[in-house]
Every structure is written in C-alpha cells, then in structure tokens.
A and B are shown apart, each in its own frame.
Chain A
Amino acid sequence: MNKFTTALTAGVLAFAPMALFAEDSSDPIVIPIHNWSSQIVMSHVVGQIFESMGNNVEFVTTDSQAVYESVRMGDVTLELEVWEGAFGASFRAALEKGGLHDAGDHDAVTREDWWYPMWTKDACPGLPSWEALNDCAAVFATAETGDKGRYLDGPVDWLKHGQERVEALGMDFVVVNAGSAAALWAEIGAAEANKTPVVVFNWTPNFAEAVWPGEFVEFPKWEDGCDKDPAVGPNKDALYDCGNPADGYLKKAAWDGMKDKWPAAYDVLTKISFTNPQIAEMARLVDVEELEPEEAAAEWLEANPTVWQGWAS
C-alpha cells in the first residue's frame, strides 16, 4: 500500500507542473460515502487521486438523500453519484435552494426499471416483453395479492410510478413498495432459494448484476413527455405508459465553494467520468472479491492508470 502511494505520487509529480497554477487549501476535502459498494469504492478512488495531488481527504458516511443539504452548506465538498432516478428530485431541490452545482456527467448511463432474475424466465418464457409478463401475472402471485401478480417496487421516496404504470397499461399486478434497497435484495435472496419467480425494481450499474444475473422487462419505449403528456405512449389517456429511459444520467455535484478553495481538485472533479463497466468492476472488487473499499480503490487505480492519469494532469 505504501509502495503504491509512492508510485502514485511519483506518477502525479510527473504531471505536477500543470497543477502548479493554483494552490489548493490544506483543509480536508470531505467526500460522502453511502451504503452501496460502487459509490464507496468510487469515492475512495477519487479520494486517492486527490491525495496523490497533495490534498487532504476525509470521508464521512451519510444518508444518500440527506447528503444534498450538507453539500449545500459546504460540510461535504462533493457528491460523486447523483442518480437521475433515485436522487434527481433531492438534487434539483437543493439546486434551487443554492449552494451546490452540477459538476458534469459520468459516461455511465443508469437504467432503473422492472427487472427479474434469470430463473424467472423458466416460469414465464415469453420475457422480457411486458405483454408476456402480464400474461403470466398469476405466476407472481403471493398470499396477499390473490390471483394478481406482485411487483415489488422501490421505496416510495424514489418516486418510481410503478402503480401508475400498472394502471396505464392495464396490468394484472399489485404494486408493493419495499422500504429500502436492502429489503429488495432480501426478497431476491429469499426467492433464489427455491427459484421462485419474482419481478422487482432494480437498476444498473449495481452489485446485483454480479450476484444474480437477470434482465430488465421491455416496456413500450420511453418517449419524451411520457410523464407529462397523456397522448404520448400507447395509452392515449394516461401518463407513465412507457418504460423508464434506458439512459438516465449519473452526475457529479460540487459545493459552490469548492472551485475557489481547491481549484486543482475541482478541475479534476469536472474531468472525472466513469463508464458502466468501470463502475461494475469497482463494485465487483468489493462485493465478489471481498476487498475492503480502500484496497479495492487502490487496486483499481493500479490496474487502470490510463483512465485516471489523464484527469490528474
């Protein structure tokens, strides 16, 4: 680890002349970490890049919704994963109040939609089409839903409009909201034991892909305005009658004061952009290889110098 830090520093020193034009404050840059692996590793990756530039970095664990208030006040300097679907609303609300701004997108796109683990296909071979899913709704029935299928949606605060879609498309499903991501995993984990077919809310990139191979349900393709104009989409009288966009943004956000306090680090932050496979790899190192996040970050940096050295120059 020590050897590696030296190597990092040496690598960065080679590019040092470029960074000399502005002096970063010696106060620690505070990076928030949340409770999913890719975000934790990515935060450590970026933290180690900053450290290699001579900055002080500190990590703080926070709730992924409450964090925007802290970024706004400058208690936390930045946020590396702003998901369009899950945190878009909180991010926009904080943006309106002022104090933080959009620091650019990652290359990675996010997708959040109805999803099923592969074993479900045995019980309902017509998948991934949504009509086929609807035809075998009874397969997904539980004790509480009678003969209708159960769709397990994300927590209500993620505003996924599962209920509206079921109504708009006339599906034979009952929507049940899970209370947290952990609850979703627990349901999939329980279903795995005897390969019970389930259809749940899921998203990519995340660790689940590595643990449970699966596919998204193909709904009518997303068209702009599907959430605002009833005329858009197959049902002319209803909103939310299409699937979610398959390419939602994944943003970075920064505290307004970061630019002046740590200009060099800010410059790097705006350049940082990870792709889906890179994020999946980070998650895999922790979730499958069982590395600690710090080690995973160091390993990733070591394995992908070409990716990040360009940003730090």
Chain B
Amino acid sequence: MADVAGSIKNDTVGPAQWSRGRVALALVAVAVFLTLLHYAGLLPDWLFRIPESMIPPFAGWLDAIFNFVKDDLGLLKLTRTLTEGLEWLLDVTANLMFGKRRWPHIGPIPWTAVAGVAAVIGYYLGGWRMAALGAGTFIWTALIGQWKIAMETMSVLMVAAPLAFFIGLTLGILAWKYTWVNRTIKPVLSVLQTLPFFTYLLPAVIFFKVGPTAGAVATTIYAIPPMILMTTLGLQKVSPEVVEAGNMSGCTKWQLLRHVYLPSARTEILVGVNQVIMLCLAMVVLTAFIGMPGLGAKLLAMMGSFKLGRSFEIGVTIVLLAVMLDRMSKAWVVKQPEHFERGTPWWRRHAILLTGVAVFVFFCILAQFVDLAAEIGRKQNFSQGKEIDTLIKGFLALEPVQATTGAIRYVLNVWILNPFRDFLLSIPTPAFIMLIVAFALSLGGKKPAIYGAIFFSLVALSGWWDRSVITLYSVISAVSLALLIGVPLGIVAARSEKWSQRVLLACDTAQTFPSFIYLIPAIMLFGITATSVVMSILIFAMVPLIRYTIEGLRTVPPEMTEAADMSGATRMQKLWNVQLPLALPTMAVGFNQAIMFAFFMVIIAAFIGTQDLGQELQRTLAGTDLGKNFVLGICVSLMALTFDLTIMQWASDQKKALGLPD
C-alpha cells in the first residue's frame, strides 16, 4: 500500500516539477524580453518603474498609526512605567558592577573578585582550561584598562540576557502548548530576525528612554527569537514515555511542566541560552547609538577619532567575553546534573559554591588593603593603542599591500561591481520581480514563489525600488564571493578534526568581533567604494558558509563514505558524488544564513558610504521620519524573507528526498 502511494506521489511530482521549471523559464523569457525592449527604448516608462504618482504614502499612514498607538492608546505611558522598573534593575547591577551611585551602594565589586569567581565557575564547568579562560578574560580586561567600560556593558547584559531568557522561555512554552500562538509568533519572529537594526532603534528610544534602558530593551528583543524556537523544539521532542511516567506519579499540569517537560528539554533550552548570550554580545556596539554605555560607546568614540589600536583592543575584549561565555554555556549544555549519594555532607555537595564564595570574599577583603586588586588606573594599564596604530598604518602603507589592493579595487569596481549594479538597475521593475519569482519557483516551489511576488511588489510600491536593488546587489555580490572563498575553505578544513576546530574558532572570532572595526581597514585598503562595502559584508557572510559546510560534511553518515571507499572511489569522486550531495541541504542552511547576515551587514556598511536603503535609514535617525524609517526597514525585511523562505523550503525538500533527519 505504502509503495503504491509512494509511486503515485512520485508520478505526480514528476510532471509538476516539469511545469514548475517551464513556468520559471517562461517568466525568465518574458523578463528578458521586457529588458531588451527597454534597451531598445520601446518600453513605456510606467512599465520600467512605478510612477511616483502611483506610490501610496505608506510612510504617512505608518506615522499616523504610530502616533495613534503611542498617544491615544496610551502605549507610551505603559512602556514608560515599565521603563522605571527596568531602570531600577539596571541601577542595581550598575552599582554592583561599576559603582554607579544608586541603591544598594555596595559596588563596585573588585576586578580580582570577579576574575576569581569566573575561574571557579569555569573550573566547575570545564576543568582547568575553562578556569583559565574565565580568569584570563577578566584579567586581560582589567590590565588593558577597560575594566570600567566592560563592566558597564556587563551590567546591562546581566539584565537583558535573563530577560530575554524568561520572555523567550514563556513564549516558547505558550507556542508549544497552543498552536494558534505558534502560528502568530512564527511570522513575527521571521520579520524580527530580518528587520534591520536601525528600524527598532528609534521606537526603542521613544518608548524606553535613551540610555541603558533602551539599550537593554533593544538587546532583549534581538536575542529573544532563538530562545523561543529552541524552547518549542525541545518541548516537542520530549518522549511520551517520560510524560506518561509523570502522569502516573500524579503530577499536576504545573508540576508536569516544571519537573518533567523542562528538565527533559534541558539540552535544547540551554542551546537557546547560548544563542541568547551570543546575540546579546553582538548588540554591544550597535546599541551604543541609543545610549548603551560601555565598550560599544567607547569603540564608537575611538573610531570617531581614528584610533585603530584602541578600537582593536576593545574588539578583542568583546571577542574574549563572547568566547568565554559561549564555551562556558556550551559546557553547561554537555554537563549533566550531578547526583550525590544519600548522606553526603552538605559542604561536599556544595563544594564549588563554597569555594566560589570564599574566593569572592577573599578578594573583596584584599581589595580593601591593596588598591591594585580593586582597580587598575589608567597610568598602570598595558594598553598598546598607539603601537597597534603604527603597526596597522605601517602594514597598510607597504608597497605590495597597496599594489594588491589597488589591483583588486580596480578590477572589482570597474569591471565587475559597478557594471553589475548598472545592469541590475537597468532591468525594468516587473521583469525583476519575474526573475525573483522564477528563482523562488524553481528552487522552492509554488509557495515561496507567491510570497516572493507579493513581497517584491510591495517593495516596488514602497517607492524605494532603486535603493532596494542596490542593497540586493551588494548582498548578491558579497554572498557570491563568499561562496567562492568560504565553501572550498570549509571543504578543506572538514578533512581533519584539528583543522575543523581551528577554522571554527576563527569563525567564532570573526562573528563576534564588532563589525564596525572591519569597516575602517576596509576603507583604508579599498577606499570608499563598492569594493569596501562588499569586502566588509564578505567577512561576515563567509562565517556561516564555512561553519555549515564543515558541519554538513562531517555529519555525512559514515556508512555512506565507507560504501564509497569500498567501491574504490577516489577522494575527489567521494567528495563530489557522495559527501557534497549529502551535505548540500545543511550547506543550504548556511547559505541562507549567509544571505541573512549579508542583509544585516549591508545596512551597517552604510557607514562606509553606500547609495542603498542603509544610507536612507541612517538619514532617518534624526527621529522625525518614523514612518519612512519603518518602510525602509520593511523593504529590507521583505527581500530577506523571500530568500529565507525559498532556500529553507528547498533545504527541507532535499533533506526529505535524501532521507536525512531535519
């Protein structure tokens, strides 16, 4: 029976795919025809671009809605009340971490005490190496003279990360429990994840007051989505036997959730925690635009006065913090809860906790007597800002470096990037939409194609078509280059465990290193040109490509590779005919992430100087054009979503076809 059903299904899939291909081909043909018509000068203007007069005033409508919600519905009052509570929390952590003059007036905690406690936690989670990483990070921060600003950052993250955790967990549970919540949350999350950061910057300031509060709120919102997704995923995976056991022992609903479901979903939830922490750290610099104090603010000030060395040092601190928190939270995922034998004395069961407290108290007392243990002053630190400056500038001035970058810049700008941009701009709007639809149709099928058509039509109606196309062009160029470099790199690295680890560490670093710092060397190497923009996106977009290529290749089932070896395949044959096809769906996820990262970065690249949506978004920061700001953000989001839907659909279809787990 099953066989019959399968074969019938296969039969229907065959012709359907054919017609899918044909429709796509037809769309491409029409698009090419329209474009040629335009080149020949025969295309009427209204078919080339939507005339100004037909563009609805979305921005004005949004402004009106926004004002209505803000003032008439009293949302502003509500959020401002919430802000006060949040501010109180932030004041407490601020007092503890860097001694802001607020209740409870205890802080600041001496740096030695923080480093000591980090070492104890590290030891508990991952032995001596982790302990060294924990202590080392904080010792570096103190010695380099960034203690206070690092703690300013931490004081906000300490509030934002748990907040994101609790909200994410709650929403995740709700989404798992009620399908309608799940159905409403999913699209909202997709939009949130693709909305450029500059779009929620202004509302955050208006509703939550410029300063650490707005910073904390923006960080929290940014970090919530993966927490929700991971929670739901984990709860769905809980095996029915465990639930049954819970039911049999007479659990109430709440007990079932608290003692059965959540502990069983522990691994997924902790992966969510890890994601929350990483995303929080990714926001450190961007939130500085809306009053987040600390490392990010300092970094922006340093870049504003062309101090590369000090910016670089701040970047290193952020990476160290991120790597430390990442490794620790991952170790926490792997570590199973310890169980002691009945009758183990109390102090033995809590040995680590007691050590931690002892270390903390010891250093706090020490700091009372030894000033250096409490605070390292500016004149005592080891910052090498000026030396690094000279080093970077010296390197950039080297003859071979200049010659190489000069050549790359010339070739890319004059022969590739600028002509490609002009070509994309010369395609009539309807033809462009048809091409996108054809792409979505042939890769993902009917559903993504329909969404693509709607989304891109909306972008066309927004009146920001040219800028959207330029944004898309930067993304496409950068991701194509990233594919050319990243995939081979991933393939080579995947050959050995050692190299995989090394390359993955480099990926982590590249990802958490504040993207702003790339911009300056990129400009110094390639000038304020499209090349710089593409290069800075490239670094960021390569990370997921490499990561997922390695991941995909290393998780190819060993039976498959063994079978290939036995049938005498050469290494190349094995790679091309066995490993790559099986890894392709995973690599597609990486490709999708690369596109999402590129859309994120292209907006930041506006700080180099672009002519795309990012530049317009930057312009709206003055706060008078909320509606326009939102329209621009949605344009970016819609384009990104089209790719997201298409590629993810393709990846999941492929996985099903290959019989791989999702």
A binding-site residues for B, Cβ under 8 Å: 30, 32-37, 40, 56, 60-63, 65-70, 73, 75-76, 89-90, 93-94, 97, 142-144, 152, 155-157, 176-183, 185-187, 189-190, 192-194, 207, 211, 283, 286-287, 290-292, 295
B291 in the interface (beta carbon within 8 A): yes
Contacts of B288 in A (CB 8 A): 61
- CB < 8 Å: which of B202, B211, B305, B606 contacts A287? B305
B409 touches A194 (CB 8 A): no
Residue of A nearest to B299 (CB): A35
B527 touches A63 (CB 8 A): no
A177 touches B609 (CB 8 A): yes
B618 touches A37 (CB 8 A): no
The residues in B between 291 and 305 inclusive whose CB is less than 8 angstroms from any CB of A are 291-293, 296-297, 300-301, 303-305
- A178-B528, A190-B396 known; A157 and B619 CB under 8 Å? yes
Bound-state Cα–Cα, A90 to B618, Å:
13
- CB < 8 Å: which of B414, B524, B609, B621 contacts A179? B609
Residue of A nearest to B100 (CB): A58
Bound-state Cα–Cα, A36 to B210, Å:
19
- CB < 8 Å: which of A40, A60, A176, A295 contacts B291? A60
B402 in the interface (beta carbon within 8 A): yes
Q: Mark B161-182, 1 if CB is under 8 A from A, else 0.
A: 0000000000000000000000
A189 touches B519 (CB 8 A): no
Residue of B nearest to A291 (CB): B378
A186 touches B610 (CB 8 A): no
A179 touches B608 (CB 8 A): yes
Known: A36-B304, A177-B615. 13 other contacts (CB 8 A): A36-B305, A37-B301, A60-B212, A62-B289, A66-B289, A66-B622, A157-B618, A176-B529, A179-B610, A183-B528, A183-B609, A287-B307, A290-B385
Chain A nearest CB, measured from B443 CB (Å): 33
B523 touches A75 (CB 8 A): no
B607 touches A143 (CB 8 A): no
B201 in the interface (beta carbon within 8 A): yes
Contacts of A156 in B (CB 8 A): 615, 619
- Can you list 18 A-B contacts (CB < 8 A)? A40-B301, A61-B288, A61-B296, A62-B205, A66-B289, A69-B206, A70-B209, A75-B211, A93-B624, A94-B624, A155-B609, A157-B618, A178-B608, A179-B528, A186-B521, A187-B528, A283-B305, A292-B378
Chain A nearest CB, measured from B83 CB (Å): 10
Residue of B nearest to A154 (CB): B609
Contacts of A93 in B (CB 8 A): 622, 624
B362 in the interface (beta carbon within 8 A): no
Q: Mark B59-85, 1 if CB is under 8 A from A, else 0.
A: 000000000000000000000000000
Bound-state Cα–Cα, A126 to B209, Å:
52
Contacts of B210 in A (CB 8 A): 32, 60, 62, 66-67, 70, 75-76
Bound-state Cα–Cα, A89 to B529, Å:
27
A69 touches B293 (CB 8 A): no
Residue of B nearest to A295 (CB): B378
B290 in the interface (beta carbon within 8 A): yes
Contacts of A157 in B (CB 8 A): 618-619, 621-622
**Nearest 10 A-B pairs (CB), nearest first?**
A69-B623, A193-B397, A61-B297, A35-B304, A186-B523, A179-B609, A185-B306, A90-B622, A190-B524, A157-B619
B393 in the interface (beta carbon within 8 A): yes
B303 touches A152 (CB 8 A): no
- A66-B623, A75-B209, A155-B609 known; A194 and B523 CB under 8 Å? no
Bound-state Cα–Cα, A142 to B385, Å:
31
Bound-state Cα–Cα, A157 to B607, Å:
12
Chain B nearest CB, measured from A293 CB (Å): 8
Bound-state Cα–Cα, A36 to B304, Å:
6
B289 touches A37 (CB 8 A): no
Contacts of B209 in A (CB 8 A): 70, 73, 75
Contacts of B378 in A (CB 8 A): 291-292, 295
Bound-state Cα–Cα, A144 to B414, Å:
6
A186 touches B524 (CB 8 A): yes
Bound-state Cα–Cα, A182 to B608, Å:
8
B528 touches A66 (CB 8 A): no
B414 touches A143 (CB 8 A): yes
Bound-state Cα–Cα, A287 to B306, Å:
9
Residue of B nearest to A177 (CB): B609
Contacts of B418 in A (CB 8 A): 144
B386 in the interface (beta carbon within 8 A): yes
Bound-state Cα–Cα, A294 to B160, Å:
28
Contacts of B202 in A (CB 8 A): 66, 69
- A63-B290, A65-B623, A152-B528 known; A179 and B618 CB under 8 Å? yes
B binding-site residues for A, Cβ under 8 Å: 101, 201-202, 205-206, 209-212, 288-293, 296-297, 300-301, 303-307, 378, 385-386, 393, 396-397, 402, 406, 409-410, 413-414, 418, 519-521, 523-525, 527-529, 605-611, 615, 618-619, 621-624
Contacts of B290 in A (CB 8 A): 62-63, 66
A194 touches B397 (CB 8 A): yes
Residue of A nearest to B101 (CB): A56
Contacts of B205 in A (CB 8 A): 62, 66, 69-70, 75
Residue of A nearest to B292 (CB): A61
A90 touches B527 (CB 8 A): no
- A93-B624, A190-B527, A292-B378 known; A36 and B301 CB under 8 Å? yes
Bound-state Cα–Cα, A73 to B307, Å:
34
B623 touches A183 (CB 8 A): no
Contacts of A69 in B (CB 8 A): 202, 205-206, 622-624
Contacts of B296 in A (CB 8 A): 61
- A66-B205, A69-B206, A143-B410 known; A182 and B622 CB under 8 Å? no
Chain A nearest CB, measured from B401 CB (Å): 10
Contacts of B624 in A (CB 8 A): 69, 90, 93-94, 97
Contacts of A287 in B (CB 8 A): 305, 307
Contacts of A36 in B (CB 8 A): 301, 304-305
Chain B nearest CB, measured from A135 CB (Å): 23
- A35-B304, A69-B206 known; A60 and B621 CB under 8 Å? no
A190 touches B414 (CB 8 A): no
Residue of B nearest to A70 (CB): B210
- CB < 8 Å: which of A32, A182, A290 contacts B607? A182
Residue of A nearest to B76 (CB): A73
A194 touches B306 (CB 8 A): no
Chain A nearest CB, measured from B214 CB (Å): 9
- CB < 8 Å: which of B289, B402, B406, B611 contacts A63? B289
Contacts of A292 in B (CB 8 A): 378
A65 touches B610 (CB 8 A): no
Interface centre among A142, A186, A283 (most CB of B within 10 A): A186
B606 touches A189 (CB 8 A): no
A290 touches B386 (CB 8 A): yes
Contacts of A30 in B (CB 8 A): 211
A73 touches B303 (CB 8 A): no
- CB < 8 Å: which of A32, A63, A142 contacts B621? A63
A66 touches B201 (CB 8 A): yes
Bound-state Cα–Cα, A216 to B289, Å:
30
Contacts of A61 in B (CB 8 A): 288, 291-293, 296-297, 300
Contacts of B396 in A (CB 8 A): 190, 193
B397 touches A183 (CB 8 A): no
Residue of A nearest to B209 (CB): A75
Residue of A nearest to B213 (CB): A75
Bound-state Cα–Cα, A176 to B414, Å:
15
Chain B nearest CB, measured from A300 CB (Å): 16
Interface centre among B300, B525, B624 (most CB of A within 10 A): B624
- CB < 8 Å: which of A34, A60, A94, A295 contacts B211? A60
Interface centre among B527, B528, B607 (most CB of A within 10 A): B528
B306 touches A182 (CB 8 A): yes
Contacts of B305 in A (CB 8 A): 36-37, 185, 207, 283, 286-287
- A75-B211, A183-B528 known; A37 and B304 CB under 8 Å? yes
Contacts of A97 in B (CB 8 A): 624
B304 touches A182 (CB 8 A): yes
Residue of A nearest to B304 (CB): A35
